[in-house]
Amino acid sequence: MIRNIRFLRWAADKSFTTGKSTATAGASAQWNAGIVAQPRCGIATCLKPVSAMPAVSIDQHSAIFSIASRKIHTKGERELVEFLAEEIVAEKKASPTATIPTSLNGFAITCNKAEVELTKSSEREKVTISFNVNHTVDMEGEEAETTENKQEFSAMKSRPQFEVDIARGGTTLSFTCSYLPGEAQEGEYNDVFGIDEVTIYQGEWNDKVYAVAGDVLDGYLYDLLMNFLEEKGISNEFAEKMSDFASAYEHAKYVELLEAISKFTVEKK
């Protein structure tokens, strides 16, 4: 990044330097920190349509915000705007693509701000997967290597808790699932996600509906329910693809947030 930038010092004159420059010689702002990690978008393969993210050079971005910053009266606001100018450019450059799929393995995708829903219908039932990308991003693995002048980080991925609702008529069988930590070692097979909770209800769900935790289910029943989900299309492979999608979508929302903060700061009331 830059989203993962770690400040080791703040000079008295409020200027700072990065271990990896993201600006050209003509850029107006000087950046500065001790260590910069890799772009936080990670290795996601699916992206939200970044129509609101036009390609802008660092020089152009710096010039725009240099003009805007003249209208800002406080030093703190000016420093914030200059930082955001560089941050937005770096994050946009880190985006591998500017398109997003409208479906994933036969599931139609709809997005509403931080919420995502995937649906697939047949004559017999409707399967709905829903999740929220807020607070779902973390480092994938541990810090790879640390030296005196360099620190490397693993990719950042979104691994949200998600709901799977399988509706037939007026009855819904519902699962709450979470991604599991760790990776399978060579020769081993580990599930990518697990069942946190299972419930079944008529009509609309409410707090009175009984639910059972996945970790107290009979082991064989748990395995059968995981097989049941796989038959509905929610397999380990699908879960990995959904995590990639969530990572890319969360990254796009993060850039939108940076742009909104910048606009708010320079906006003339």
Residue pair 130/176 in contact by the 8 Å Cβ criterion: no
Contact yes or no for 75/14 (Cβ under 8 A): yes
The residue written with tokens 């390609």 in the block is 55
Of the listed ranges 144-153, 173-182, 183-192, the least confidently predicted one is: 144-153
Lowest-pLDDT range, 88-97, 129-138, 215-224?
A: 88-97
Q: Cα–Cα–Cα angle for 242, 225, 191, nearest 5°?
A: 45
The residue with greater pLDDT, 185 or 268, is 268
Residue type, 176: T
Q: Which pLDDT does position 40 carry in this prediction?
A: 54
CATH of domain 75-138+154-266: 3.10.280.10
- Find the range with the poorest average confidence among 136-145, 213-222, 223-232: 136-145
Collapsing DSSP to helix, strand or coil, 98 comes out as coil
Question: 6: which strand partners?
Answer: 35
CA–CA distance, 55 with 158 (Å, rounded to integer): 25
Check whether 10 has a pLDDT greater than 60: no
Q: How confident is the model at residue 178 (pLDDT cuts 50, 70, 90)?
A: very high
The residues, any chain, with a CB within 8 Å of residue 46's CB and separated by 6 or more, are 100, 101, 104, 241, 244, 245, 248, 249
176: closest CA among 159, 199, 145, 157?
199
pTM: 0.71
**Top-confidence residue, 144 or 172:** 172
pLDDT band for position 117 (cuts 50, 70, 90): very high
Domain residue ranges of the chain, discontinuous segments joined by +? 75-138+154-266
pLDDT at 47: 39
Backbone angles phi, psi at 5, to 5 degrees: -65, 135
**Averaged over 40-52, what is the pLDDT?**
41
**What is the structure's pLDDT at 14?**
41
